[in-house]
Chains A and B, each alone.
Chain A
Amino acid sequence: MIEFLQHLGKETHTSFTKLGRGTYFLLQTLNGIVSVVTRPRLLINQLYSVGVLSFLIITISGLFVGMVLGLQGYYILSDFGADETLGVMVAASLVRELGPVVSALLFAGRAGSALTAEIGLMKATEQLSGMEMMAVDPIKRIISPRFLAGIISMPLLAALFSAVGIIGGQIIGSGLLGVDEGAYWSQMQAKIDFQDDIINGIIKSLVFGFVASWIALFEGYDAIPTSEGVSRATTRTVVNSAFSILGLDFILTALMFGDN
């Protein structure tokens, strides 16, 4: 019993010190963003490796998710003779939920894990320490540009995901199953609200981008500088990001769509 309590206390202590380090790290990173603005080159490079390189996985996944939505939506809606509202269903699911959430999960798996591994290995090979000794702040030079790139990329990737998904739903819905194409688009236009649906979706993906980039960069920066340490940190990035994204999605959804 005593041992259990000791263990519990130790775990709690470890988690809280880590949370503290993480918060301090975040503050330093945010502080470093100011200097990124004066060196756009660093940001552009990271936008490429964090954002542009995630295009393919986001596009393909978006297409398939949209196609599945088209199929499943059609089967259910046609039972009620409401298959013309398929466009609304596909678009609403994507813009409100699946776009931000699934693209954030993919982002954590594709870009987040890469960031953790990169930073962790830089730490393990003394590159971060070497920079410090050259009087270059690694937070400003390495971390902040990546963080900002993650926050900027995420909503764009989510938008791409939703857009491709809507096209996928349309291909299946009106191309294969015979939903009227005009109805697909016009119903969507009539029912999807810019403020309620699209803006809220963007806010979600901004939050997810913030959290996923923070977790990925912090795990890398805080990794034990050995090959095992980096591998564990990478795993933690994917697991913790997924939990945070899904948990936050619930909270955000409850806050945003409660009144409808």
Chain B
Amino acid sequence: MNNSVSPHNSLVSVKNLSFSRGNKKIFNDISLEFERGKITAIMGPSGTGKTTLLKLIGGQLLPEQGFINVDGNDVHRLRRSDLFDLRKRMGMLFQSGALLTDMNVFDNVAFPLREHTKLPESMIRTLVLMKLQAVGLRGARNLMPNELSGGMARRIALARAIALDPMMIMYDEPFTGQDPISKGALVHLIKSLNTILGLTSIIVSHDVQETAAIADYIYVLSDGKVVGQGTPKEIEQSDSDWVQQFMTGAADGPAHFHYPARDYVDDLLSTGKRY
């Protein structure tokens, strides 16, 4: 554990991480720091392995090279039981919510409490209602997951993620597929939970405006590399073409609109021979 001392008060630090899927290099020697008590965002287009990064931090995937250190623990060198203990202190909000479909909202939020604590049912009830109140869905406790809208499901999942009072939460694309009102509610929730509960938040997202509005620090990833980093303001003023294209949403630029192909005219005029 000689990596436990990290600069500027990081809760999570990723060092020289490389990871491939098949022949595709998802991360190529990247290093990131996630400061305690702050909201750090990882942005980048779809398919840059942002979700993969969260799974690596959570110890669900093994890196090819490099370390990930969470609160002084080298995630991939922990024993299974220690990893599970560490995960009790890490909340994760999945893109789909990942609610257990055979239980109602109340039981979903109570799930981690019932699995990991021996609290009496009356105490669990109080805790669950408090968590549900925090996300504004105390009234929805008897609904089943299939009766929830996408935004509600994500808020319930958030209530579940904070059930064990974790030290950090990882958000996987929290804003994707949400209507403006739910988006606004989530932006507000993420920010306020971070402040009130003193959490450290990691947000993976490609929703530029929402993320930039609440993040303290942003990393922009592309092709397995960090192409830009800084506070939202610094990112906005970045002189990197790549970052500019991503932040403004231009169709063509360093990231090409077209999937690699041979010359267009050539392709049209060819007579269907095998390429």
Number of interface residues of A (CB under 8 A): 14
In the complex formed, the residue of B with least CB distance to A136 is B115
Contacts A126-B94, A127-B100, A129-B94: A135 and B116 contacting too (C-beta < 8 A)? yes
A-chain residues with CB within 8 Å of residue B96 when the two chains form the complex: 125-126
A193 in the interface, Cβ–Cβ < 8 Å? no
B interface, size bucket: 20 to 34
Query: By DSSP majority rule, is chain A's interface helix, strand, loop, or mixed?
Result: helix
The reply to whether B60 and A132 form a contact with Cβ atoms under 8 Å apart is yes
Given A126-B96, A127-B100, decide whether A137 and B60 contact each other with a Cβ distance below 8 A: no
Stretch at the interface among B33-41, B68-76, B85-93, B218-226: B85-93
A136 x B92 contact (CB < 8 A) = no
Please give, as numbers and ranges, the residues of chain B lying within 8 Å of A136 by CB-CB distance: 111-112, 115-116
Report the nearest B residue to A132, measured CB to CB: B60
Interface pair B85/A135, CB less than 8 Å apart: yes
Known contacts A125-B101, A135-B85, A141 near B115 by CB under 8 Å = yes
The answer, among B84, B88, B94, B115, for a CB contact under 8 Å with A130, is B94
B143 at the A interface (CB under 8 A): no
How distant is the Cα of A133 from the Cα of B57 in the complex, in angstroms?
Answer: 10
B58 at the interface (CB under 8 A from A): yes
Q: Is the CB–CB distance between A130 and B85 below 8 Å?
A: no
**CB proximity of B4 to chain A, nearest CB, Å:** 21
Distance A141 CA – B116 CA, assembled complex (angstroms) = 12
How far apart are the CA atoms of A20 and B265 in the complex, in Å? 50
Q: List 21 A-B contacts (CB under 8 A).
A: A126-B96, A126-B98, A127-B98, A127-B100, A129-B94, A130-B94, A130-B98, A130-B99, A131-B100, A133-B58, A133-B60, A133-B87, A133-B91, A134-B87, A134-B111, A134-B160, A134-B164, A135-B85, A135-B88, A135-B116, A137-B84
Q: Residues of A at under 8 Å CB distance from B?
A: 122, 125-127, 129-137, 141
Question: Given contacts A130-B92, A133-B91, A136-B112, could you give 9 more A-B pairs where the C-beta distance is less than 8 Å?
Answer: A126-B94, A127-B100, A130-B98, A132-B87, A133-B94, A134-B111, A134-B164, A135-B87, A135-B88
